Amino acid sequence: MESRYIPAEIEEKWQKTWAEQGLYKTLEDAGKPKFYALSMFPYPSGNLHMGHVRVYTIVDVIARVRRMQGYRVLNPMGWDAFGLPAENAAIERGIPPADWTYQNIAQMRQQLDQLGISFDWEREVTTCAPDYYKWTQWIFLQFFKAGLAYQKEATVNWDPIDQTVLANEQVDSEGRSWRSGAKVERKQLRQWFLKITDYAEQLLNDLDKLSGWPEKVRLMQANWIGKSTGAQVTFKTETGDELLVFTTRPDTLWGATFMVLSPEHPLVEKLTKPKQAKAIKTYQKEAAAKSEIDRTAEGREKTGVWTGSYAINPVNDEKIPIWIADYVLMDYGTGAIMAVPAHDQRDFEFARTFQLPIKVVVQPKDQTLDAATMTEAYPGEGVMVNSGPLDGVPAGKEKGQSVEAAVAWLEKNSKGKGTANYRLRDWLISRQRYWGAPIPIIHCPKCGAVPVPDEDLPVRLPEEVEFSGRGPSPLAKLDSWINVPCPTCGTPAKRETDTMDTFICSSWYFLRYPDARNEQQAFDPKKTNDWMPVDQYVGGIEHAILHLLYSRFFTKVLRDRGLLNFDEPFERLLTQGMVQGKTYKNPRTGKYVLPMNIADLSNPVDPETGERLEVVYEKMSKSKYNGVAPGDVVSKYGADTARMFILFKAPPEKDLEWDEADVEGQFRFLNRVWRLVNEFGGQESGARSQEAGVRSQKSGGGSQKVELSKPEKDLRRAIHTAIKAVTEDLDGDYQFNTAVSELMKLSNALTDAPCKDSPVYAEGIKVLLILLAPFAPHIAEELWHNLGQVGSVHSQSWLKVDPAALVADEITLVIQINGKTRGALQASAQLSQEELEQFARESEIAQKYIEGKVIKKVIVVPGKLVNFVVA
Ligand code: ANZ
Ligand code: ZN
């Protein structure tokens, strides 16, 4: 049977057959252990990129192996389909967002199918479909009814390009929008929030349960939640008001020399003396226009204004001035601080700028601080001084140190109490855009915010809208849609026109897959509790905070509503590395050059300047001319080669450099397998491979009835070594790269085996195909059928290692005299304990030491050593 390996001739054929046979339909067989494999669902941009190919390939291998290992596997796919690009397409090209989105979905689904990914498409979810967002709305109402969704007037992040507000998580460290890149502005707006802060402590503590997550991701979440422990302390003002401050260093209270309020603090007006009123007003206006990031940037020159008022320090009754300054934020802690310039750098800079007093209350061991000559704050260790009851106590947060002592003192004297504070803010979820799930609320002048009754869900997105361009959401202009009677009292009322942040849609999609077609419920808790938690989640590190934190929050809230019976949604998390493409870059200008324009790629020079170009791998992108389209690779080499390359080139969590030569290497390997199997299959193979099965079972049983020749034994060892290694690579940390190497070794061992007529060889060919199946599903299936096997290779049971086969023919036997190693020799692995002892005794090494001596005892460790105890 001479034939060439032409992927195009087999891949589509098998994809069709598998679909017809329903090979990847999720088994609902309670008798089998479950395995929920999940890839982060994509935004349907219309085109699959290499990053997608990588994630879905990784998850696919995991799912296929688990199926073969006897699990019932859920490996679903869906679409994170709401969001601005669809709306922008509507504005720019006049296509309704829904049409644009569904067109993209169809295209991407086809591209995915070409890769031979074993998704169960019957469970597909699409977040922009009314049968999905109905439940997104229902879940929002669960939050609302639990008091976890509320509206408030807030200074929010406003994206001037996309004309919408953003959550804090969606603003990067430079104060830019995660999507549009626009510098975020501050605006005062009434917005919807979810009370994620109620769950801050749990979200933090339960990170300890996530041992299957990368340490880095857990750390990022912990930092984002940002728990600080300290105390709240009450200061009295001369107006008789109470000023509450949050401090992480209550032990430094005796060193507080002034107070600073956020310019937005509600007491500012009352505390401002008439003479200061104008300066205060001006300063407040300036501060309001600045972003949080600008206000808190390190090393920034300190600004502020004195209110004209004083407060009394509760620990020593000292009168200290009250200032306002923009480095104090309103929505952290209490929006007011006590300033301790000797030990806090920002306060120090502020005190120096405005010539305010500085008082040292912590003296370090190795130097003596003097307030007059200090050049920076001292935040370190030492001993408390000038601090009344704390004098002499070691400064620090440990047990028995000053912070603990200060909290105890404050609580005893009713001047404050120990508390924790979190950096995490409530999640701002309303968006002033069209293409999202409408917030199911009706505003009634009499009843306030009234939930849309469950039976009226979903609140459908109206279709007869106009996308005129950027500006207010089309929903806000649609009177016919907005004006409705109040569901409670019938009074003319108005629909909420904001839609939900799309991160809401993706915070629960994994709960829907186990019961994706349910029309009565978001999900049947029985089914979802059965499949959840996700056993293996795979996706990008860019979701380390946003999506993963929100999903954990949703899980906990729905658990508390009695809908779920677990605490954490994702048991194990793998964050795959980036796929990088080769770029040719002029190191001087930083410009990327189109490879097509380079005369000699092995010696690349800039066609414009003649300068030498640097070859570097960077994230694939159009502007760097280093993208590789999945479709092109599939048509040139086939999906199996693309998959093999991706899996082989780098461990899944590491970045991967796309390299055409290595792609070709994988293509050649598959060609070798093709020839190897087909040459074998060309002889009447069916009978022999069956015979091999019988024989290997016998020898596996340890009966050793069948005498194998040395080459046969060597080949069998190679076969079972491959089974063992591949299985281990797939069970632990998913080392696909080394697993593929093992497949190559096995293929080489088969090629080199002199015993091609042996049943062992037939066993080896079968094993190779079964091990290859999860990685290169099409070629494995085609060759499996060429061998005359019935059924799909993907329905075969995963292979068991025969430990007997792993045992080498020869062992290295260590010879010891009185426990001391004197040498080692090769011995047959077949020798019994007595034979081993005899063999060792007769060896030259032993003879040298035992000749003429009395042997008191011989200790034999089979397979390892013989120790002679001599007098
Ligand atoms: C006195 C003090 C003395 C402080 C000292 C620090 C060191 P973290 O760790 O980030 O939670 N602070 C409190 N609320 C603030 C606000 N709304 N805006 C700006 N700064 C605020 O920081 C807590 C510390 O940051 C608090 O402890 C407070 O300064 C300041 F040697 O109080 B500290
Ligand atoms: Zn009403």
122-145 pLDDT tens trace: 999 999 999 999 999 999 999 999
Q: Residue 676: how many CA atoms within 13 Å on its side-chain side?
A: 26
What angle in degrees, to the nearest 10, is found between the helix axes of 759-772 and 686-700? Answer: 90
Residue with CA at minimum distance from ligand 1 atom 5? 344
Ligand 2 ion local residues (Cβ < 5 A): 444, 446-447, 486, 488-489, 491
Out of 225, 247, 343, 360, mutate this one to test ligand 1's pocket (max ligand atoms within 8 Å of CB): namely 247
Mean model confidence pLDDT for the chain = 92
Predicted pLDDT at 496: 97
- Amino acid letter for position 162: D
Stretch 545-572: mean pLDDT: 97
- Return left, alpha or beta for 843; rule: phi > 0 is left, psi -120 to 50 is alpha, else beta: beta
Which residue CA neighbors atom 29 of ligand 1 most closely?
247
Q: Which residue minimizes the CA distance to atom 33 of ligand 1?
A: 247
pLDDT tens digits, one per residue of 141-191: 999 999 999 999 887 888 888 888 887 778 888 889 887 889 888 888 899
Q: What is the dihedral of CA 731, 732, 738, 744, to 10 degrees?
A: -10
Angle (nearest 5°) at CA 460 between 454 and 461: 150
**Strands 319-324 and 305-312, bridge-based pairing:** antiparallel
Contact (Cβ atoms closer than 8 angstroms) between residue 573 and residue 548? yes
701 confidence band (pLDDT: 50, 70, 90): very low
Given a cut of 50, whether residue 699 has pLDDT beyond it is: no
Residue whose Cα lies nearest atom 20 of ligand 1: it is 328
Q: Which ligand is nearest to the CA of 340?
A: 1
Output the CA 440–ligand 2 centroid distance in Å: 15
* Cβ contact 630:622 at 8 Å: no
The answer to whether 295 and 230 have CB atoms below 8 angstroms apart is no
SS3 of 104-139: the string is HHHHHHHHHHCCCCCCCHHHCEECCCHHHHHHHHHH
pLDDT score recorded for residue 81: 97
DSSP 389: G
pLDDT digit string (tens) for 381-435? 999 999 999 999 999 999 999 999 999 999 999 999 999 999 999 999 999 889 9
| Ligand 1 neighbour 247 (Cβ under 6 A) | yes
Q: Whose CA is nearest to atom 21 of ligand 1?
A: 328
Of 87-91, 216-220, 264-268, 855-859, the one with minimum mean pLDDT is: 87-91
Nearest-atom index, ligand 1, CA of 332: 17
Ligand 1 center–CA 249 separation, angstroms: 8
Among 330, 357, 327, smallest CA distance to 341 is for: 357
Which atom belonging to ligand 1 lies closest to the Cα atom of 248? 27
Q: Which of 542, 512, 531 is nearest to 571 (CA)?
A: 531
Residues contacting 713, CB < 8 A, separation 6+: 809
Q: Which atom of ligand 1 approaches the CA of 327 most closely?
A: 19
Angle at 851 between CA 848 and CA 856, to 5 degrees: 115
Contacts of 533 (CB under 8 A, 6+ apart): 36, 566, 568, 569, 570, 571
Q: Assign 470 a pLDDT band (cuts: 50, 70, 90).
A: low
252 within ligand 1 shell (Cβ under 6 A): yes
pLDDT band at 681 (very low <50, low <70, confident <90, very high): confident
Give me the mean pLDDT over the 214-226 stretch.
Answer: 96
State pLDDT tens for residues 844-862.
Answer: 999 999 988 899 999 999 8
Ligand 1, from 294, 302, 337: best to mutate by most atoms within 8 Å of Cβ? 337
Calculated CA dihedral for residues 327, 328, 332, 338, nearest 10 degrees = 130
Mean pLDDT across 44-57: 95
Secondary structure (DSSP) of 172-196 = -TTSBBTTT-PBPEEEEEEEEEE-G
For 715-759, the three-class secondary structure string (H helix, E strand, C coil) is: HHHHHHHHHHHHHHHHHCCCCHHHHHHHHHHHHHHHHHCCCCCCH
Which residues face 166 on adjacent strands? 157
Using the mean position of ligand 1's atoms as its centre, give its distance from the Cα of residue 219 in Å: 22
More confidently predicted of 708 and 213: 213
- Residue 736 tokens read as 């696909």
Residue 354 has pLDDT above 80, yes or no: yes
pLDDT, position 683: 60
Kindly report, residue by residue over 633-663, the tens digit of the pLDDT.
999 999 999 999 999 999 999 999 999 999 9
In 10 A of CB 591, how many CB atoms? Answer: 14
Q: Degrees (nearest 5) of the Cα angle 773, 744, 61?
A: 30
pLDDT at position 352 over 50? yes
pLDDT of residue 223: 96
Which 3-state string (H, E, C) describes 689-721? HHHHHHHHHHHHCCCCCCCCCHHHHHHHHHHHH
Asked whether 340 lines ligand 1 (CB < 6 A), one says yes
Q: Please give the pLDDT value at position 686.
A: 46
Q: How confident is the model at residue 685 (pLDDT cuts 50, 70, 90)?
A: very low
Neighbours of 829 (CB within 10 A): 14
pLDDT band, residue 471 (cuts 50/70/90): low
Judge if the beta carbon of residue 116 lies within 6 A of ligand 1: no
Distance 505 CA to ligand 2 centre (A): 28
Task: For ligand 1, say whether the CB of 329 is within 6 Å of any of its atoms.
Answer: yes
- Structure-token match 């509320």, residue found: 150
Average pLDDT over residues 779-801: 95
